[in-house]
Amino acid sequence: MAHLSYVNVFAKDVVALSGFYQRVFGFPEIEAIRSPIFRGLDTGKSSLGFNALDAYELLHLAEFSDTKGVKFLLNIDVDSREDVDRMVPVALEAGATLVKPPYVTYYNWYQSVLLDPEGNVFRINFMM
């Protein structure tokens, strides 16, 4: 059976962007895989990686490096509605931009939509 091991994000500054997710969510760095162009964070069930823009060339993706617009959405689950409410201000203080404040979705999740400091969309979710 397959399982998701990593989600990697291309980042202008892998140190700053991985540091943002460490500060907001407390994800520890996987130091054994650190490199000048990569940082990995342990999210508990999978990992979140940050590739420097140099990785486009390494992965033979240079022709796609000018991608614009929203191309993915990170969903980070927390244990309670209170955790969503507590973490949104932490994310804003760390440099996030609020897109949609906490609300109950039509599928009965409690979540907030934000942009990280490099403009990537993420949600802080509590699945009720």
Closest CA to 27 of 6, 14, 48, 41: 41
- Please state, rounded to an integer, the average pLDDT across all residues of the chain: 94
Task: Give me the pLDDT at residue 123, please.
Answer: 97
Structure tokens at 25: 């969510």
In CATH terms, the fold of domain 73-127 is: 2,3-Dihydroxybiphenyl 1,2-Dioxygenase; domain 1 (3.10.180)
**Tens-digit pLDDT profile for residues 9-46:** 999 999 999 999 999 999 999 999 999 999 999 999 89
| Confidence check: pLDDT of 4 > 90 | no
**Which part of the chain has CATH 3.10.180.10?**
6-62, 73-127
Instruction: Report the C-alpha gap between 112 and 103 in whole angstroms.
Output: 7
Structure tokens at 53: 């823009």
Task: Give me the pLDDT at residue 98, please.
Answer: 98
Task: Give me the pLDDT at residue 74, please.
Answer: 94
**Tens-digit pLDDT profile for residues 38-62:** 999 999 989 999 999 999 898 999 8
Residue 35 near residue 54 (C-beta atoms within 8 A): no
**Tens-digit pLDDT profile for residues 109-125:** 999 999 999 999 999 99
Task: Give me the pLDDT at residue 71, please.
Answer: 81
**Tens-digit pLDDT profile for residues 71-109:** 889 999 999 999 999 999 999 999 999 999 999 999 999
| Long-range pairs for 61-66: beta carbons < 8 A, 24 or more residues apart | 65/10
**CATH class, 6-62 region:** alpha beta
User: Could you tell me what percentage of the chain is helix, strand and coil, using 3-state DSSP and rounding each to the nearest 5?
Assistant: 30, 35, 35
Packing angle, helices 14-25 and 81-93, rounded to 10: 140
